[in-house]
Structure formats: structure tokens, C-alpha cells
Amino acid sequence: MKYTEEHEWLRVEDDVVVVGITEHAAEQLGDIVFVELPEVGTEVVKDDDVVVIESVKAASDILAPIDGEIVEVNDMLTDTPSTVNEDAIGKGWMFKIKTDDLSQLDEMMDEAAYKKFIG
């Protein structure tokens, strides 16, 4: 797993990267009540807004961590957004990006570095 400073995790499955938010992020956001996912087929550039999360506290944007094409989204979150709180790194995944260039992940934090990052 790789991590971004935006508190996303990335897991590589062949040439597809699964993206979600970290448990730490989910805890900070509080109870999540709404998730707006991108459309499958959308071409995204790193730092594009791709997902909107609304928690009991506020709305937050989730940015595309890499360049690529959205090939799948976790539709379950539309009806049960609380899944992100319950299982942020598992069933609470948000979208999958297909990319030709996995080297985009090279500079990202590993788990130890992320743990240090969130202190």
C-alpha cells in the first residue's frame, strides 16, 4: 500500500490502482453521510477533484492521486456511505484508476512513512 499526504491509500492490482481514504482520515471526518463518485470512463489528472465526501461535520474533496482513467467506482458507498467509517481500507474503497505509468506511485509514502506523517 502507498499513501498520499491527502490521506488516500493506493493498492496496485495489476495495472489498476484501487484508491480509498485512510482510517485516520475517516476518523477525522467523523460519520460519513454522503459520497459522490466520479463517472466510470472519466480521464483524470493528478489533483483533479474526483470524489466529494460529506460527513456530519463538513464536505471534503478527494483528489485524484495519479493520472489515469476511472475504470470502476464503489457504488455501494452511494447507499451506505458509512462503509467508509467501518472499513476504510477494505469495503470502503472508492474508485479504481487504470494507468500506464505505475511509477507515479514511486514517490509516495509507504505505511511506516504515513504513520510518521500523521504522528
Partner 1 sequence: MSDLKTTVLNALHRELGAKMVPFAGYDMPVQYPMGVMKEHLHCRAHAGLFDVSHMGQIVITAPGGYAEIAAAMEALVPVDVVGLADGRQRYAMFTNALGGIEDDFMIARRGEEMFVVVNASRKDADIPRMKEAMTGCEVKEITDRALLALQGPDAESVLEALVPGAAAMRFMDIAVLPSEYGDVWLSRSGYTGEDGYEVSVEDGRAEELARALLAHDAVEPIGLGARDSLRLESGLCLYGNDIDAGTTPVEANLGWAIQKVRRSGGSRAGGFPGADVILPQLVSGAERRRVGLSPEGRAPMRQGTPLFADETAETAIGTVTSGAFGPSIEAPMSMGYVSTDLAVPGTTVYGEVRGKRLPAKVVALPFRAANFKR
Locate 53 and state its grid cell. Answer: 465526501
Q: What is the DSSP letter of 46?
A: T
- Which run of H or E residues covers position 78? helix 76-79
Q: Judged by CB under 8 A, which stretch of 16-24, 56-64, 93-101, 104-112 contacts partner 1?
A: 56-64
Q: What is the DSSP letter of 74?
A: -
Q: What is the DSSP letter of 31?
A: S
Our CB check for partner 1 shows the closer of 11 and 91 to be 91
**Contact string 58-97 vs partner 1 (x = CB under 8 A):** xx------------------x--xx---------------
Q: Residues in the chain, how many? A: 119
Q: Which residue has the cell 489515469?
A: 68
Q: Are 75 and 93 contacting, i.e. CB atoms less than 8 angstroms apart?
A: no
Smallest gap from Cβ 24 to partner 1, in A, equals 14
**Contact string 2-41 vs partner 1 (x = CB under 8 A):** ----------------------------xx-xx-x-----
Residue from the set 6, 23, 54, 67 that interacts with partner 1 by CB under 8 A: 54
Q: What is the largest CA-CA distance in the chain?
A: 37
* Chain positions contacting partner 1, by CB under 8 A: 30-31, 33-34, 36, 52, 54, 56-59, 78, 81-82
